Amino acid sequence: MPEIAITGVGVVSPIGIGEEAVLDSLLQCRSGLRGLEHPGLSRAFPVAPVEAEFNAGFTRIELPFLDRTTQMAIVASRQATEAAGITDFTDFGERAGVFYGTVRGGGHTEWEWVRQFYVDGRKTAKPYVIMGCMANAPAAQLSIRHQVRGPVASHTSACSSSGASIADACRHIHAGELDIAIAGGAEGVLSPVFLGAWDGLRAMAAVADDPSRSCRPFSRDRTGLALGEGAVFFVLESLQHARARGARVLGRISGWAVASDAHHIGTPHARGQISAMRSALRMAGLEPRQLDYVNAHATATRGGDPIEAAALREVLGDAAPRVPVSGTKGLHAHMLGAASAMEALVCLQAIRHRFVPATAHLEDVDPDCEGLHHVPQVLRDRRVRHALSLSAGFGGTNAALVLSEAEAH
């Protein structure tokens, strides 16, 4: 079994900034969704923005070069490295890396330039526009700020991006190529242009009478997904390296896998999800019955949830009625490139604090999603030794992560 230690976590999310704030929201089943109206949009949308202040510490000179996505990534990564007890990574030389996942990159910077071009009539962009828009800008900024001298990789596999980035970091550490890495993802794309584009997919939820209940994974009456934003990063290192420097181990990543279903650019297929989950469990040396919790991708779309439910029933087999399964996007919404990392954090908190998170707003399970041990509305107290997080992305790339207790039992 691979020995990848988690020694630091940082998060900027719609349900809290910092690990403790997110934990409190999960325990209270408190949603970060609200309704958003904009004169340029045809209707209101349910969204989950980061509304708390998080960008203190950036200078007026720095800010133009730091897209909102990058700002959130820096803050979350700073939390993670401080939790891991690391001021900078210079001493690790080329044995440290950054692995980052995103769908869009610097969406706010691009939207502001489009507005200036078409509305204000500007013909030349400010020099920071390209630097802010680049998909790899957050990863580069993390490398610079934390003085990481090894590989710096940006993964863009849609909604599984940060899961793929974490898996890549684990692979490098497990292979002995790195000792330590910052890995996760960030996304900040709640602009009118992006929301309108997503609405064109007919996948966005209607705003419920209570906007906080607009996203209802696995529910018979679900109407679609809600978009969120945020950033989540982990400090990962070999268990041997963590112990040698006296680091506190929060948990372990004991298995990981990335698999494509090679089916359709916008429609998932169960076979890729099945392959990713089975490969991750095999690496972790676990049987499905040994799982204590599964955090599902569960976007609350009409087509996606039943396909995922079928994949979970296939993988869990006889254990399907007993292994708790929940989806937490009803609270933090779909954070796109940060979604996998956010849900891995949920799994880690379930392990550390001994509870199974609930699927918010789930009152009536869709018949096509039955056959699983759903956790509707109210969390359950339970020791969680091993948890599986599954993420599925447009284009068919699926990422599965198995998280385990800090010490193997």
**172, 241, 334, 374: which one is catalytic?**
334
Strands of 152-267 (E only): list them: 152-155, 180-187, 227-228, 230-238, 251-260
Catalytic residue among 159, 170, 215, 369: 159
DSSP states along 241-263: HHHHTTPPP-EEEEEEEEEE--S
Rounded CA gap, 73 and 103, in Å? 14
CA dihedral 213, 216, 219, 221 (to 10 degrees): 60
Which contacts of 259-265 are long-range, i.e. CB under 8 A and separated by 24 or more positions?
259/397, 259/398, 259/400, 260/395, 260/396, 260/397, 260/398, 261/396, 261/398, 262/396, 263/396, 264/396, 265/394, 265/395, 265/396
Catalytic pick from 297, 332, 374, 386?
Answer: 297
Q: Is 159 known to be catalytic? A: yes
> Over 351-388, what HEC string results?
HHHCEECCECCCCCECHHHCCCEECECCCEECCCCEEE
Strand boundaries in 73-192, DSSP class E: 96-101, 152-155, 180-187
Q: What are the start-end ranges of the E strands in 239-315?
A: 251-260, 293-295
Please tell me the distance from the alpha carbon of residue 65 to that of residue 245, in angstroms, as a whole number: 35
Residue 297 annotated to the active site: yes
Contact 22, 345 (CB under 8 A): yes
Six token digits for residue 266: 């916008």
The answer to whether the Cα torsion of 72, 75, 81, 87 is positive or negative is positive
Q: Could you tell me which of 327, 303, 323 has the C-alpha nearest to residue 315?
A: 323
Answer for the pair 14, 32: CB distance below 8 angstroms, yes or no. yes
Annotated catalytic residues are 159, 297, 334
